[in-house]
Amino acid sequence: ETGVTQSPTHLIKTRGQQVTLRCSSQSGHNTVSWYQQALGQGPQFIFQYYREEENGRGNFPPRFSGLQFPNYSSELNVNALELDDSALYLCASSFSGPYTEAFFGQGTRLTVV
């Protein structure tokens, strides 16, 4: 059984650019969620995908978008990067259902300059 893996681990981008972050879900999990963790804060929910459909979104603008693929891997895309987008981006996978734990990848540290 493989865990959740994210790529890349670190990334530096310029304001206004676009970025794509990738996540491979844990084997057997059908739900993937993305979180943004700013320094000194808890992770904040961006959105969630279940069977390739977005089924929940947090308070993030439309320039944050995502995809889930048939093998349940996922991408997070951010357009028109802003300095405040600098954060740790975490991917989590789980089984669907109300009483399940989510398992996180190691995160991608994005720095926007």
Partner 1 sequence: DQQVKQNSPSLSVQEGRISILNCDYTNSMFDYFLWYKKYPAEGPTFLISISSIKDKNEDGRFTVFLNKSAKHLSLHIVPSQPGDSAVYFCAVVIGKLVFGQGTRLTINP
| One residue of 26, 48, 68, 86 binding partner 1 per CB under 8 A | 48
As given in the structure block, the two tokens for residue 51 are: 């069977």
As given in the structure block, the two tokens for residue 55 are: 């089924």
Q: Does 44 bind partner 1 (CB under 8 A)?
A: yes
Per DSSP, the three-state class of 62 is: coil
Q: How many CB atoms are closer than 10 A to CB 32?
A: 29
Binders in 56-95 for partner 1, by CB under 8 A: 56, 58, 90, 92
Binders in 23-42 for partner 1, by CB under 8 A: 33, 35, 40-42
Query: Cα separation of 42 and 62, whole Å?
Result: 22
Residues of this chain that interact with partner 1 (CB under 8 A) are 4, 6, 33, 35, 40-45, 48, 56, 58, 90, 92, 98-107
